[in-house]
């Protein structure tokens, strides 16, 4: 479904899962705690899905005694396979879900051919 995925600056942030929901539906789930819905940008250009998050600066300065929750901007790219399209996205509980669907053209779907069902050949008549 996905040919490859690459992260921004070679790191693994944010972590993500790719799951198969059924034969033609998939979901990418990214763990993006600390972001708001309006801080994401999801773009599809040709067969590249680009997901980015730009963290807005805090209006008030905060003093952390310990900080391990990442709150930095990111960009992650996914190379989509042929006939895979982004169906929609949702954000809840610190998780960004991107739903994908594979739409195969009719000519590429498997089909069963019955024996004896080959088309009859019609002979052309030659009248002069």
Cα distance between residue 30 and residue 52, in whole Å: 11
Model confidence at 9, pLDDT cuts 50, 70, 90, reads: very low
**Residue 109 above 80 pLDDT?**
no
- pLDDT tens, position by position, 17-57: 999 999 899 999 999 988 999 999 999 998 999 999 998 87
pTM of this prediction exceeds 0.85: no
State mean pLDDT over 67-79: 88
How far is residue 103 CA from its own chain's centroid?
A: 13
CATH topology of domain 2-57+70-106: Immunoglobulin-like (2.60.40)
How many other CB atoms sit within 10 Å of the CB of residue 53? 23
* Domain ranges, ordered by start, for the chain: 2-57+70-106
User: What pLDDT score does 76 carry?
Assistant: 94
d(CA 33, CA 68): 11
């Amino acid at each position: 479904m996905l040919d490859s995925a690459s992260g921004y600056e070679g790191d693994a942030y944010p972590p993500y899962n790719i799951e198969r929901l059924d034969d033609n539906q998939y979901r990418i789930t990214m763990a993006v705690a600390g972001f708001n819905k309006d801080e994401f940008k999801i773009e599809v250009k040709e067969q590249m899905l680009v997901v980015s998050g730009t963290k807005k600066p805090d209006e008030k300065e905060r003093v952390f005694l310990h900080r391990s929750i990442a709150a930095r901007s990111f960009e992650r790219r996914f190379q989509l396979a042929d006939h895979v399209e982004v169906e929609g996205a949702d954000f809840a509980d610190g998780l960004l879900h991107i739903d994908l669907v594979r739409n195969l053209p009719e000519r590429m779907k498997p089909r069963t051919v019955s024996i004896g069902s080959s088309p009859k050949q019609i002979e052309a008549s030659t009248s002069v």
